[in-house]
């Protein structure tokens, strides 16, 4: 949503500081915090600014938080797919500029990339599709190589645990989903993480998102 209509006052009354970077009805990212919200950066800190509102960063009580909405990619032969790969490479440059791997760092959001085959309901059904292609997984691995751990997967190694299900064909009830909403944390955070969970119940409400919330506690 646009910044002008973001419900900052509502969150303030609930005890949260908030920072929002929005654009129309499609793109937007936000960070809410009860422990402080400083050094807010909208868009990338290095390189050319993105034309879409897809990344926001802030420091919350010493933890560097980067919230992202990675481009979908659409189709492998689409220009948007190349945009997605470039975007992910620029994300790594941004994280390296904004934080140090020895600090408390969390990079989180909708990555539109399933890290491995166990993160999708049927790898064979998705061959030739975005979200699972080798180049996408490679740029995600490159980002993690900077010093980030997929903490949900670290705590939950079992397959068929998803955060997104297509609205069509009863995808949620069939558990035909993908794990594309990630919590990537630096070692100092990952080592102190006591709980991670995908809240499937939130996906069952009236007019829910096709994504479920992914939660971590450290």
Q: Is the whole model's pTM more than 0.85, yes or no?
A: yes
Query: Which CATH number belongs to the domain containing residue 74 in this structure?
Result: 3.60.10.10
**Which one is catalytic: 110, 119, 150, 181?**
110
Number of domains in the chain: 1
pLDDT at residue number 9? 97
Q: pLDDT 10s per residue in the chain (218 long)?
A: 788 899 999 999 999 999 999 998 789 999 999 999 999 999 999 999 999 999 999 999 999 999 999 999 999 999 999 999 999 999 999 999 999 999 999 999 999 999 999 999 999 999 999 999 999 999 999 999 999 999 999 999 999 999 999 988 899 999 999 999 999 999 999 999 999 999 999 998 888 999 999 999 99
69 is catalytic: yes
Residue in 18, 112, 22 with CA at minimum distance from that of residue 58: 18
Residues with Cβ within 8 Å of residue 92, at least 6 apart in sequence: 139, 142, 143, 146
110 is catalytic: yes
**Which one is catalytic: 50, 69, 98, 119?**
69
What is the Cα Rg of the chain in Å?
17
Domain range for 126: 3-217
The residue written with tokens 């997967």 in the block is 153
Region class of 13: left (phi > 0), else alpha (psi between -120 and 50), else beta: alpha
């Amino acid at each position: 949503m646009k910044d002008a209509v973001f419900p900052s006052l509502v969150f303030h009354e609930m005890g949260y500081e908030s920072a929002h970077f929005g654009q129309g009805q499609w793109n937007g990212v936000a960070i809410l915090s009860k422990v402080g919200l400083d050094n807010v950066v909208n868009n990338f800190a290095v390189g050319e600014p993105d034309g879409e509102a897809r990344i926001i960063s802030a420091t919350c009580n010493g933890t560097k938080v980067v919230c992202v909405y990675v481009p979908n990619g659409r189709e492998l032969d689409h220009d948007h797919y190349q945009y997605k790969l470039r975007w992910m490479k620029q994300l790594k440059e941004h994280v390296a500029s904004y934080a140090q791997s020895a600090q408390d760092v969390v990079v989180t959001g909708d990555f539109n990339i399933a890290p491995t085959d166990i993160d999708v309901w049927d790898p064979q059904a998705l061959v030739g599709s975005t979200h699972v292609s080798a180049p996408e997984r490679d740029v995600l691995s490159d980002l993690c190589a900077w010093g980030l751990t997929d903490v949900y997967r670290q705590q939950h190694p079992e397959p068929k645990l998803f955060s997104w299900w297509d609205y069509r064909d009863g995808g949620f009830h069939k558990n035909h989903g993908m794990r594309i909403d990630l919590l990537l944390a630096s070692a100092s955070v990952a080592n102190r993480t006591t709980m991670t969970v995908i809240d499937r119940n939130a996906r069952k409400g009236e007019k829910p998102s096709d994504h479920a919330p992914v939660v971590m506690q450290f």
